[in-house]
Amino acid sequence: MKLQKHHFLIGVFCLIPSVASAECQHTRPHFDVGLTVTSDWVVSSGGTCTVDFHISGASEILGVAVKVRPKHGIAGSASRYAIGYQAAKGYTGADSFVFNLILKTNGQFGVATYNVNITVK
């Protein structure tokens, strides 16, 4: 598994694999400045889930900031255009995290918030 190192503008520094586990289920959300999006993910215990960002219009991603860390795994940037989560090995149950995308759209700066609810099996 290839690991990539990325720094967050705010939050914790993490290493997340750049490929998703075959045992990861999620929806790919649509982001834009000012939007708050919630998504449900399912991942196996010890498994990894990575989601690419879909940004509307002329938005540019300037950074990713983990706002609320998960309690039973790690969350971080898998690339400039993706966020990832790795569940703690041996844990099953619910987990969650929240991150912000720092965006620039038509010369204006803003934030999109992403709430992730995770079921670890």
pTM, two decimals, is: 0.74
pLDDT for 10: 34
pLDDT digits (tens, 9 = 90+) for 8-33: 333 333 333 334 445 677 766 666 67
3-state secondary structure at position 114 = strand
- Give the residue, 54 or 51, on which the prediction is more confident: 51
Residues 6+ apart with CB under 8 A from 13: 6, 7, 76
Contact predicate 121/42, CB 8 Å: yes
CATH architecture, domain 21-120: Sandwich (2.60)
Type of residue at 73 = G
Q: Specify which residues 61 forms β-bridges with.
A: 103
pLDDT for 69: 95
pLDDT digits (tens, 9 = 90+) for 64-112: 888 999 999 999 887 777 888 999 999 999 999 998 888 888 788 888 8
Type of residue at 85 = Y
